[in-house]
């Protein structure tokens, strides 16, 4: 048993999809969430910058005395996970592996699509991770940079969002994918629209997959928190807490708690 909290960071609010899944699956765990809203988006930044920001986020969460760190941001997981693991002693897990493994388990025809930010797609991290689990899988990718701002604005079912999504997903039809990985924190909120556009495709939500991985890891090491510990989770942002307090509930629903602004 280990009653220390779980640290989660993202470039902004999207990682709340991961926080919510973990809070739902592991209700006794205390979460410390950091959204680096002052410096988001990460998806259009260079590897060097993403590594620097990710190290600073990790250092902040370590001050909360957490037992593990979850890199909820797909972009940071794709570009900085290795460097974080090299630098810090604590267990650090990213979202790419869990999503890749789930996609390989789900696909029947071994044709998998991935959407993500420009940086995530350019890194090739999902292709590498999927091929690690199945070297014969065919992976097709599409960068979808306009989706993050749409979700941040809460445009989850507008016709404009649907038409942009149709544009990004159009290339997957001829490739005959049967599985699509949502390789970005924000995209799980677009799942209903994606299902409408691609009803026959299995959609892999990496937020849910990472929550399963966290649970399995804590259970295997006997590190889960005491039942009914009831400690309050805390949320931090590096800028615009008002925006968190407005949009955060789309992501967190019943787990919504107001965020505090911090300096890293
Ligand atoms: N959190 C990022 C991701 O999952 C999306 C937002 C950003 O570009 O910073 O890739």
Cα–Cα distance list, 68 to 26, 94, 203 (Å): 14, 11, 27
Domain boundaries, the chain: 6-94+208-261, 97-206
Q: Which CATH class is domain 97-206?
A: alpha beta
Distance of CA 168 to the CA centre of its chain: 19
Quick one: pLDDT at residue 72? Answer: 96
Is the CB of 248 inside a 6 Å radius of any atom of ligand 1? no
Is the CB of 40 inside a 6 Å radius of any atom of ligand 1? yes
**Cα 89 to averaged position of ligand 1 atoms, centre (Å):** 25
The answer to whether 6-94+208-261 and 97-206 have equal CATH topology is yes
Quick one: pLDDT at residue 246? Answer: 87
The answer to whether 60 and 235 are in contact (CB under 8 A) is no
Q: What is the pLDDT of residues 27-55, one digit of tens each?
A: 999 999 999 999 999 999 999 999 999 99
Q: Is 184 an annotated catalytic residue?
A: yes
Distance of CA 124 to the CA centre of its chain: 16
Catalytic residue (one of 70, 71, 121, 184): 184
Q: Is 61 an annotated catalytic residue?
A: no
Quick one: pLDDT at residue 206? Answer: 83
Number of Cα atoms under 13 Å in the Cβ half of residue 126: 33
What would the DSSP string read from start to end of 21-90?
HHHHH-TT--EEEEE-TTT---TTS-HHHHHHHHHHHHHHHHTTT-SEEEE--HHHHHHHHHHHHHH--S
Q: Among residues 101, 65, 97, 71, which one has the least CA distance to residue 84?
A: 71
pTM: 0.93
- Which atom of ligand 1 has the smallest separation from the CA of 116? 10
Is the CB of 148 inside a 6 Å radius of any atom of ligand 1? yes
Quick one: pLDDT at residue 153? Answer: 82
Quick one: pLDDT at residue 85? Answer: 97
Q: Among residues 184, 94, 194, 96, which one has the least CA distance to residue 145?
A: 184
**Cα 1 to averaged position of ligand 1 atoms, centre (Å):** 33
Quick one: pLDDT at residue 221? Answer: 92
10-residue mean pLDDT series, the chain (264 residues): 94 92 94 96 95 98 97 96 97 94 97 96 97 98 95 89 98 97 93 97 91 94 85 94 88 90 95
Ligand 1 pocket test target in 9, 40, 57 with most atoms within 8 Å of CB: 40
Number of Cα atoms under 13 Å in the Cβ half of residue 199: 1
**Cα 222 to averaged position of ligand 1 atoms, centre (Å):** 32
**Cα 241 to averaged position of ligand 1 atoms, centre (Å):** 18
Catalytic residue (one of 8, 16, 66, 73): 73
Q: Would you identify the CATH topology of the domain 6-94+208-261?
A: Rossmann fold (3.40.50)
């Amino acid at each position: 048993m280990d009653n220390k909290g779980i640290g989660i960071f993202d470039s902004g609010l999207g990682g709340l999809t991961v926080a919510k899944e973990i809070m739902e699956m592991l209700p006794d765990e205390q979460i410390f969430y950091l959204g680096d809203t002052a410096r988001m988006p990460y998806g259009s930044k260079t590897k060097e910058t993403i590594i620097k920001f990710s190290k600073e986020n990790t250092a902040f969460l370590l001050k909360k005395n957490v037992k593990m760190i979850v890199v909820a941001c797909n972009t940071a997981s794709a570009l900085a996970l290795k460097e974080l693991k090299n630098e810090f002693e604590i267990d650090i897990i990213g979202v790419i592996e869990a999503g890749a493994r789930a996609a390989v388990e789900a696909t029947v025809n071994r044709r998998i699509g991935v959407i993500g930010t420009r940086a995530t797609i350019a890194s090739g991290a999902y292709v590498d991770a999927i091929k690690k689990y199945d070297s014969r899988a065919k992976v097709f990718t599409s960068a979808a940079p306009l989706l993050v701002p749409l979700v941040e604005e809460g445009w989850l079912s507008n016709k404009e969002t649907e038409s942009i999504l149709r544009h990004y997903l159009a290339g997957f039809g001829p490739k005959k994918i049967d599985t699509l990985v949502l390789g970005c924190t924000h995209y799980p909120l677009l799942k209903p629209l994606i299902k409408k556009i691609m009803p026959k495709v299995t959609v892999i939500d990496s937020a849910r997959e990472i929550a399963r991985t966290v649970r399995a890891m804590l259970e295997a090491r006997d590190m889960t928190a005491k039942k009914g510990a009831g400690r309050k989770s805390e949320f931090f942002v590096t800028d615009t807490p008002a925006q968190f307090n407005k949009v955060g509930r789309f992501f967190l629903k019943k787990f919504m708690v107001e965020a505090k602004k911090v300096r890293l």
